[in-house]
Chain A
């Protein structure tokens, strides 16, 4: 066996969308200055949080379901190789074809080739995170193939030449007035008298897309789940655009990350209960389609499944971080995150925003010590709300802490010049190691009390200004513990 397979292979940069062009703090600064964005996000996340809490509250065995979901995913990862082979066998036995892709570029080549083989110049697409991750639309465009997004939010993003900012509601950063403007400017044949009522806007999207559904011969989808023991694929959706794509075209191409697997059909009963309530806050989403290979006389007669690695095996190799692969993309963690609620999804730079993105993106691309994604594990207050709502109990805070440590290791390895943080930590270490030194340091810090009349210190001089740039510092107390102890235990004599 070659050594090559023992080293983690990360997702390549420069193709697809797993890393932005600026660090999280730099991107967040821009987002925070946008008052409209903050108001759109505040109202949307507050709505969805309340809906989720309501429908989760009515499920008596919610914790039992979460623990089952967590264990099913952990056991899937432990036998992922044999389960994928079982899935492949069952898909092929039912008339489908299975393709394997090491990374984004290879997946794009495979899909482009499959579309070209049909002769089609247009494809319709079901909302899919993974095809954004690999930049499939751009790859198809380069080959002269036009891809039409059919999910309403994805359509808004595509028409607006914008980037998605939320897993479930990619256009969460747009309000109705902005969406109406996008339709008026970009949608061919738009009715110019439309109002900004959501029902009117949805009706206009229906009219525009129906023609595409009826005339397009190739569809591309992602998958919410694949079932190894039956070869069944699943798309969970609301609008019916998924059903259109899965039913009307002659050819269906499904791109799926290798982790989106469950071992048995019965396992799905857990996730069909967890996902809709966590995601849209509904007891059940309007439509779920499941299909196994090809059904003669019903739906696409040609079915291709593309299985994608793109950094997933590198993530799988990490004992702490591999939990990130349990994610079922519900987006509950985004909706409760105080950081996401303020910055929105674009600041994360990746297809996967929010708390799950902060642990998934850097693991897929790898931590280099000075990379843009190295900033993501710090995009959190570690408050733990994400873990509380995660339907498969991914311990996001612990993974964030672990990734921070790995970032520091990577940074140390990447540079021989110590960073300011390392110097500061070494200094504190030295001061704390000697009793006299520590006493002196505490007395020195006490001087800071006189620097401000506020209860917190907002700005320290350089180089400590890097600490206070995004944090308030508690003012040192009037008396240190040691001073208090000394006065309380004074020898009465």
Chain B
């Protein structure tokens, strides 16, 4: 009888780890940090993302400003993006699940989403495919990504983000625009992902119920 690769590899592992001891894992590293929007902005700018800050009522205006500055002609958005955020005088195509990569390919294409979590210390926004975030394709193929970050989505450090995220969803962690350092280790922004990342940070309005 021939032994399967699975059984053979597992048997090899079992005989190899007879002498292995499992240490206790020290968890005395920081479990998190306080959210600090100024730090988030600093990190994003460091990655050469374009940052806008506005009140909730200013989101649509910030999108128009960003789109005009970047020369975006075609705007897309995932289902579930708050209609109040979408500029009324621009057409925004909502992904119905049939858009292809070819539809989204172009230097004049922008996508508007929100995110699941934004991490201040590392300047990272995380998308989980939920409402207002969409399929992964949508934030990958267009040349411009406009991401709206709400106050309650902002966390301090990486472990804070892990506590909020669901690993069963496909997650995309984004820290600035696409980049490479493959030539002489010089950082160049813009390879295959969106070459332009605009982050609209929505300020907390005192008295509103969106406080974290």
**A and B from one assembly?**
yes
Binding site for B on A (CB under 8 A): 1, 5-6, 8-9, 40, 43-44, 47-48, 60-61, 64-65, 67-68, 71-72, 74-75, 77-81, 84-85, 94, 99-102, 106, 150-153, 156, 169, 171-172, 175-176, 179, 198-199, 201-203, 205-206, 209-210, 213-214, 227, 230, 232, 238-241, 243-244, 246-248, 258, 265-270, 272-273, 276, 280, 282-292, 295, 297-299, 307, 309, 313-314, 316-317, 319, 322
Q: Shortest distance in angstroms between B99's beta carbon and chain A's nearest beta carbon?
A: 12
Residue in B6, B29, B188, B190 whose Cβ sees the most chain A Cβ within 10 Å? B29
A316 CB contacts on chain B under 8 angstroms:
13, 16-17, 20
Stretch of B68-76, B85-93, B170-178 lying at the A interface: B170-178
Report the Cα distance A15→B179, complex, angstroms. Answer: 34
Report the Cα distance A60→B30, complex, angstroms. Answer: 9
Q: Are B191 and A152 in contact (CB under 8 A)?
A: yes
Q: Are A100 and B5 in contact (CB under 8 A)?
A: yes
Report the Cα distance A77→B22, complex, angstroms. Answer: 8
Given that A72-B25, A81-B14 are contacting pairs, would A273 and B158 also be in contact in the complex, using a CB cutoff of 8 Å?
Answer: yes
B38 within 8 Å of A (CB atoms): no
Binding site for A on B (CB under 8 A): 4-6, 8-17, 19-30, 43, 47, 97, 101-102, 105, 119, 121-124, 129, 135-137, 140-141, 158-159, 161-162, 167-186, 188, 190-194
Report the Cα distance A54→B101, complex, angstroms. Answer: 39
Report the Cα distance A272→B124, complex, angstroms. Answer: 12
B27 CB contacts on chain A under 8 angstroms:
68
Partner of B193, one of A44, A169, A286: A286
Beyond A61-B28, A74-B22, A239-B191, list 14 extra A-B contacts (CB 8 Å): A5-B11, A75-B25, A100-B4, A169-B182, A176-B184, A214-B105, A239-B193, A243-B140, A247-B136, A258-B13, A276-B122, A285-B175, A286-B175, A291-B171
A248 CB contacts on chain B under 8 angstroms:
101, 137, 140-141
Count of chain A to chain B residue pairs whose CB atoms are closer than 8 Å in the complex: 253
A317 CB contacts on chain B under 8 angstroms:
15-16
Q: Shortest distance in angstroms between B75's beta carbon and chain A's nearest beta carbon?
A: 20
Q: Are A282 and B183 in contact (CB under 8 A)?
A: no
B192 CB contacts on chain A under 8 angstroms:
150, 206, 209-210, 213, 239-241, 243-244
